[in-house]
Structure 1
Amino acid sequence: MAVDLDYEIGVAVKRQDNIALTASGRDPISETVVSPRAYFEARQDGPRLRFVGQGALEYFDYLDDTFSDETRARFNGQLDIVAIPDRLEFVFRDYLSQQPVDPLAAYAPDNTQQINVFVAGPTLKARFGPAMRGQLDLRYADNHAEESESFNGNRYSAAARLARDLSPTREMSVNLAVVDADFDQSGDLRDYRRYEGFVNLTSRHARMETDIDLGHSRVELDGSGREDSTALVRASLEWELSPRSLIGLSVRQQFTDSGEDMTRPLELEEIRFNDFNVPYLVEPSVFEERQLRGRYRYRGDRLSLQAIPYARRVRYLDATLEDENRRGVIVSASYRLRPRLTATFYALRENREFVDIDREDDDFTYSIGLANRFTRHWTGRIDFLHQERDSNVDRRSFDSNAVLVSLSYRR
């Protein structure tokens, strides 16, 4: 089966009045950046081979030499190879992104690094009857950071699952999992083992889907000998209100680490031309996460709208790392003014509180843009981007404005 491939290539020019995101009260540095770039998305769904992936490659030429020229790449891909149908599969996942080196500093060009998380392993399946199935997942994961070498390490995991169909639309399963994380530079100070047991219930109807995990999780730290446990809760609901709109809600309480946090299921709308991204934490330690996330999406003939409110609490088991609370909302919208002219809007409002150092940041980012399709393949865009931070710590507040003009060819 042929691969379904779409790609977009082009060039963007950005003029920013505070390229280094210098603190308020200091002299900001203006800079012009020229960025040749390429973006692709590919998909293949065959009986033996399934692949879905997105990637972006950009070169940044700083004309005033404020920073050294650089190349940045992003990729999110999933490959499944069916060796024996309904018996044995091999899975491969790769997640390449740009993340901050120092999470407490502004996400400026001198505070970025490439992060890659690779996951691979076999999945063995067995059927014990018309309604009963078993599955064993064995996984190896490799974390690699360009600058934060303490993030580098390996993770080994095994997960067993026994599932039963309750009806054509409902399924229940019992799951056991163990994870062994080994970081390269920390000795055994942050290495850990995690044990999980939970029951999963999924329900899929024409307009509503639910997926619920309920159980228990326990963590053992190798260095300190500390043990901790928590109730394991992962629940999601997605309800299609109409053919054009849906709402969703997800809740999580679990132990995880930054490498696992970056291996989310691929969402094909995540990487786009002229994207503005929210960075992850890059720390080599296990933490307890509690998160509540909502979602509303509307897709009309001319108007598309999405809103995502969220709240997240992170508590590290390593007392030397900064616990934090985040809450905010992301809103994006597009409106087709004319058959070839579309207006776009994106906004992020986030409050981030670092508990142990009594620091609180309020971040506000928004962009307004116009995209015009000159022909079937050629598109021109102009975007205005504003970023600001209001911090209670001296010399951490900043604001910045930028104009981004781009021309691209899409297959």
Structure 2
Amino acid sequence: MAILAAAAFAGSAHAGKLDYRFEVEVLHSDNINLSEDNQAKETVLSPRVTFNFKEEGASLELQARGELERRHYFGSRFDDETRSEFAGQLNWSLLPQRLNLVAEDYLSEEPINFRGGRYPGNLQRVNIFLAGPSFFARMGDATRFQLDLRGASTHAEVAPDFDGKRYSAAASLQRDLNPISKASLNLVSTRAKFDDAATAVDYRRNDAFVRYQGRLRKLEYEFDLGHSRLNRDVGEDPTTTIARATVQWQPNSRNRIRLRARHQFADQVQDLVVRLRDPDESLVPDLVDSSSSLVSSGVYRQRDLELDYRYRGEIVGFRVRPLYRQLRYIDRGDADRTERGAFFQLDYRLGPQVTMFLSGSLRNREFTSRNEEDRDRVYSLGFSYRMTQHWGWSAEAIRNKRTSNDPDQAYTENSVFLTVWWQR
């Protein structure tokens, strides 16, 4: 579905803006399977294409980005494989300010063993497709009503309890308080039905919350407060408080600070859509990705706090992203965990065509029911050289190390990348 959508978007490139890039990458790793006692040295050749398409018309909005690569392993231990990622959103106004048709598709490669890494044989293809109409009505100059009806299909290549259908209705009564702020009352009901009744429990989730959002000079904010109830076909029917906040301050074109906090029920479908819908998020997660979750039907109570600061100057670029996350599953106590981490990246222009970049990821994961803890540390140093407007190359060295009180989970990997690219 995602590949067909990508082709359709690309075919409409004359009506919007299409950027694409071709890469050929060579990777050499001294422990590509991330093992402590069975390391596999490997060299990998990966041709890759990435694209980003965007169109904003009077009646049609399209956004699509994707990545497709073929990985050839020169050793004999791993089969060649194809990896693909895609995120696309379509919003078509059939009746202006009355009726819109929305369709979204998200394709990603997620770990089979979520405690492991993105090594050969530990990735499965996960796809989420959702679509439906949005109805709008205006009740006076300052009051509006919106009703979103959605159907979704979820599929995972390996995890059978992820496969299923979802149906949701979201009603929102919004009122403008003044020219820069508004409030709304929101009711959301979602019905989840899974294909494998032996491993997954169907449920209905009902959320009710009030939202206050607005802007003040260069500050934007959004706050939610409410209640959520999970009605499961089998087992207990838990409840939780909904408390969410997003605050973004952009004092100038070079600096941006975003704070996001969440307390709610969540699941892997919701988390994947939130991550891939955000154009600032990478389609392929970093080596240490604190947002990775168990691909399953499991619902969990989520506490999440994240700060993201970015600076972009003419010579120096910098990003730092500390975060905290706590997941408590309704049924999967063995996956309960608390995560603390930080990501940083520094870019420095050594000349008009040469840039040095340094990055690091730090993460501690504590598994509460098993009294186990993993400590991940990833550091990289690299250079990129832009030869012409379209051609360039980059080289990068990475050290990826995990320590754990479970000896089977520890490993150390050293790898180098060399990439040649052409971009439009």
TM-score where L is the length of structure 1? 0.96
Partner of 1:162: 173
Matches within 5 A, 1:226-265: 226-264=236-274
Q: Secondary structure at the match of 1:263?
A: helix
Does the aligned pair in 2 maintain the 1:232–1:253 contact within 8 Å? Answer: yes
Which residue of structure 1 aligns with residue 183 of structure 2?
Answer: 172
Alignment counterpart, residue 421 of structure 2, candidates 393, 399, 408: 408
Q: Does the CA-based 8 Å contact 2:26-2:417 persist in structure 1?
A: yes
Indicate whether 1:136 and 2:136 are aligned: no
Alignment of structure 1 residues 46-195 onto 2, 5 Å: 46-187=57-198, 189-195=200-206
The one-letter code of the counterpart of 1:365 is V
After superposition, what is the alpha-carbon deviation per residue over 1:55-101, rounded to whole angstroms, capped at 9, x for unaligned? 00010000112210000001111111111000000111111111110
Match of 2:398 among 385, 389, 399: 385
What is the SS of the residue equivalent to 2:270? helix
**Residue 10 of structure 2 aligns with which residue?**
none
Instruction: Tell me by how many angstroms 1:321 deviates.
Output: 4.3
Q: CA deviation at 1:403?
A: 0.5
Q: Is structure 2 residue 332 aligned with structure 1 residue 322?
A: no
Q: From 13, 24, 30, give the equivalent of 2:41.
A: 30
For the pair 1:398 / 2:411, whether they are aligned, the reply is yes
Distance 1:124 1:323 in 2: 39
In structure 2, C-alpha distance between the alignment counterparts of 1:223 and 1:5, rounded to whole Å? 48
**C-alpha distance in 1 between matches for 2:157 and 2:353:** 41
Deviation digits for residues 364-387 of structure 1 (CA, Å, limit 9, x no counterpart): 112211110011000101011111
Aligned counterparts, 1:8-27, within 5 A:
8-23=21-36, 26-27=37-38
User: Counterpart amino acid of 1:231?
Assistant: T
Once the 2 structures are TM-superposed, how far is the Cα of residue 104 of structure 1 from its aligned partner? 2.8
Q: Partner letter of residue 132 of structure 1?
A: T
Q: Are the aligned partners of 1:188 and 1:223 in contact in 2 as well (CA < 8 Å)? A: no
Structure 1 residues not aligned, in runs of 5+: none
Question: Per-residue displacement from partner, 1:99-153 (whole Å, max 9, x unpaired)?
Answer: 1101233432121111111111110000011110000001111111111122111
**Cα 1:42/1:276, change in 2 over 3 Å:** farther
Task: Read off the aligned partner of 1:129 and give its amino acid letter.
Answer: G
Deviations 1:304-353 (A, max 9, x none): 11111111111111145421111100112211111111112221100011
Partner of 1:334: 347
**Conserved? CA contact 1:262–1:280, under 8 Å:** no
Greater CA drift, 236-245 or 81-90: 236-245
Q: Distance in 2 between matches of 1:397 and 1:273?
A: 23
Q: Distance in 1 between matches of 2:245 and 2:287?
A: 28
Q: CA RMSD in A?
A: 1.7
Amino acid aligned to 1:298: Y
Match of 1:208 among 219, 228, 237: 219
**Which structure shows the higher helix fraction?**
2
> SS at the partner of 2:217?
coil
> Percent identity of the aligned residues?
38
Q: Is the 8 A contact 2:33 2:39 kept in 1?
A: yes
The verdict on how the C-alpha distance between 1:272 and 1:141 changes in structure 2, with shifts beyond 3 A counting, is closer
* Whole-angstrom distance in 2 between the partners of 1:319 and 1:273: 26
2:281 match: secondary structure: coil
Task: Say which SS state the counterpart of residue 227 (structure 2) adopts.
Answer: strand
**Is the contact made by 1:190 and 1:318 (CA closer than 8 Å) also made in structure 2?**
no
Q: Tell me, in whole angstroms, the C-alpha distance in 1 between the residues paired with 2:157 and 2:198.
A: 20
Inter-CA distance 5–319: structure 2 relative to 1 (3 Å threshold): closer
Higher mean displacement: 113-122 or 312-321: 312-321
Aligned counterpart for 2:387 among listed residues 338, 355, 374: 374
Query: Partners in 2 of 1:116 and 1:193 — Cα distance?
Result: 21
Gapped regions of structure 2 (runs ≥ 5): 1-13
Per the TM alignment, residue 243 of structure 1 is displaced from its structure 2 partner at its CA by 3.2
What is the CA–CA distance in structure 2 between the aligned matches of 1:77 and 1:210, rounded to whole Å? 26
d(CA) in 2 for partners of 1:272, 1:361? 24
Q: In structure 1, what residue type is equivalent to 2:337?
A: E
Residue 182 of structure 1 contacts residue 188 of structure 1 at CA under 8 Å; is this kept in 2? no
Tell me the number of residue pairs that the alignment of Structure 1 and Structure 2 aligns. 408
In structure 1, how many angstroms separate the alpha carbons of the residues matched to 2:277 and 2:230? Answer: 27
Do 1:189 and 1:223's aligned partners in 2 also have CA atoms closer than 8 Å? no
Partner SS state of residue 203, structure 1: strand
- 1:189 and 1:221 in contact (8 A); partners too: no
**Distance across 2 between alignment mates of 1:114 and 1:323:** 24
Task: Kindly provide the amino acid, as one letter, of the partner of residue 296 in structure 1.
Answer: Y
In the TM superposition, what is the alpha-carbon distance from 1:31 to its structure 2 partner? 0.4
The separation in 1 between residues aligned to 2:343 and 2:257, in whole angstroms, is 14
Question: By how many angstroms is 1:27 displaced?
Answer: 4.4
Q: Which deviates the most, 6-15 or 200-209? A: 200-209
- Distance in 2 between the 1:273 and 1:248 partners? 21
2:207 counterpart of 1:196:
yes
Aligned partners of 2:278, 2:287: CA distance in 1, in Å? 16
Relative to structure 1, is the Cα distance of residues 81 and 326 closer, same or farther in structure 2, using a 3 angstrom cutoff? same
Q: Which amino acid in 2 is paired with 1:84?
A: L
CA contact (8 A) 1:191 1:285 kept: no
Tell me which amino acid in the other structure corresponds to 1:174.
L
SS in 2 for 1:242: coil
Please, which moves more after superposition, 179-188 or 326-335? 179-188
